[in-house]
Structure 1
Amino acid sequence: MVEQQDLKYAVVGKFSHGMPSIAFLRTAIPKQCSLKAEVNIGLLHNRHVLIRCSIEEDYVNLMSRPNFWIKENSKSFLMRTFKWDIWFTPEEETSMAVIWLSFPNLPPNFYVPSILFSIASAVGKPIAIDAATLNKTRPSCARVKVEADLLQEHPQKYNIQIMNGEEMETISYKIRYDFLPKYCSTCMLQGHDLQGCWKEHPELQPERRLDGDGTVAVAAKGKITNPTPLPTNPSHQHPNPKPLPTATNPTQEWTTVTHKRKYQNQQKQPLESLENTIPMTEIVNPANLNIGNNPPSSKQPLLT
């Protein structure tokens, strides 16, 4: 068994394009990321810091946004956040992410934490419910924050079964994902999937300029094709242009290097149906649904 003392609310901050000193980050991250309680920040790798939060609210706050801009004087440094786990390696990004789920048209009498968490558990681990849902100030849509695995398929619908006297009625509702990051199991990175991976599909790489006179080389199907001249405007040329290096062999094959890692080529787990029925072990009593002074109904909701 692996001990995870003081790491329950641990977050990895990744700086891909330079980073300030760790001494500056220890004071800047709590202020600029609006953290409320004490945090412990240390250097994990040359581009990664480990942020150990002391309360769940700060952990959720860090994980809920795709990135933060840490400002030092006139410079801004992009920091992305990921859930820390015992399998962390600097070359890989975790497939776990915190996402918001929306349940449009769900009746307000279901705006109860136990029911909403039961529905959201079909996607991932429920973390929080937004204030408008708890206060019922936006009865058109309920929102729940969950921690989900991006390598898994996610249901698009869920069913609620309601007892109407002796009969069982089934009503289907949609699940809307406010923002669902993509994950590539080849690169082990968030931000793109296998369909948009340059390693899997070299033909998707953009055109690359080779020199300064408008000549470009097009990357297609793993080869550099013959340079294609582009029209140039003489008035835009530098009076003393410096030549840039050009490709010596325009048909040189590329060499692709792959590494076997824990997520290597792992495909999303298919579902037999993207319509999910939410399990619940007992009938929910309408008297406990916090629906004010509404008269009791003979319909008792049952989540199955």
Structure 2
Amino acid sequence: MGLLWIPYGGYPMEPTSFSIERDSPLAPVWISLDGLPVHLHDLRALNSIDKLLGKTIRIDAPTTNFSRPSTARICVELDTSLELPPKVRIGYGATSFFQTIVYENLPLFCHNCSRLGHSAVNCPRATRPLVPKSQVCDPVIGNFSKASVSPNIVAGTPEALLMYWMPLLLLLVSLKSRLPLLLMLVLK
């Protein structure tokens, strides 16, 4: 199939089954191969390594002209819905070794709503269990809501005084930046 379009400085996009309800899990991701031997910075070797992960889109200039021999960087089209390997086994000749892969700015993919940008843990469409009101904290008085007050607190003790004054203390802390203005209004 032909290419759809390539924005300036962008990556080629091929037509797939588009849907409004779901994002494509395919995303261009730069990967770094730290400590890859220099003789494997060859285009054929890098393309064969990248075929294990996805389709090679671009190889950065320092990798192709050997100006940064410590790291090879390649942009690969990855399926972010799959679990990506932290290492790949590279074999050449009679030797083989495991190469660590560093994924740069890997986008999150939500398996719950099939969208890029967040994980299933932070999905806004996920149904969450309702929390009983007795366990919800009052934002003004923190954990000192009536539901969490211990019946064992004796009047006149430091704990009781703290319970009594905590809402006011928290309110003053939240109004700390406006406190001089409030004092000027009260003292007028």
> 1:141 is matched by which residue type in structure 2?
T
The aligned counterpart of 1:232 is 171
The aligned counterpart of 1:102 is 32
1:128 matched to 2:58? The reply is yes
Alignment deviations for residues 23-51 of structure 1 (CA, whole Å, 9 cap, x no partner): xxxxxxxxxxxxxxxxxxxxxxxxxxxxx
1:185 Cα offset (Å): 2.1
Highest CA radius of gyration, 1 or 2?
2
- 1:199 to 1:223, Cα distance in 2 relative to 1, 3 A: farther
Alignment deviations for residues 102-144 of structure 1 (CA, whole Å, 9 cap, x no partner): 1111111111111101101111111111000001000000011
| Alpha-carbon RMSD | 2.8
The aligned counterpart of 2:98 is 172
Count how many residue pairs are aligned between Structure 1 and Structure 2: 146
SS in 1 for 2:73: strand
- 1:86 to 1:157, Cα distance in 2 relative to 1, 3 A: closer
> 2:109 is matched by which residue type in structure 1?
Y
> 1:62 is matched by which residue type in structure 2?
G
The aligned counterpart of 1:139 is 69
Considering Cα pairs closer than 8 Å and 6+ residues apart, tell me whether 1 or 2 has the greater RCO.
2
> 2:25 is matched by which residue type in structure 1?
S
For the Cα contact (< 8 Å) 1:63–1:97, is it kept in 2?
no
- 1:86 to 1:107, Cα distance in 2 relative to 1, 3 A: closer
Work out the CA distance in 2 between the residues paired with 1:142 and 1:119.
11
1:187 matched to 2:107? The reply is no
> 1:232 is matched by which residue type in structure 2?
L
SS in 2 for 1:62: coil
For the Cα contact (< 8 Å) 2:49–2:90, is it kept in 1?
no
User: Matched residues, percent identical?
Assistant: 28
- Structure with the larger helix share: 2
* TM-score w.r.t. length of structure 2: 0.66
* TM-score w.r.t. length of structure 1: 0.42
For the Cα contact (< 8 Å) 1:158–1:172, is it kept in 2?
yes
Question: Which sections of structure 1, spanning at least 5 residues, go unmatched?
Answer: 11-51, 65-82, 203-220, 240-304
Work out the CA distance in 1 between the residues paired with 2:139 and 2:98.
57
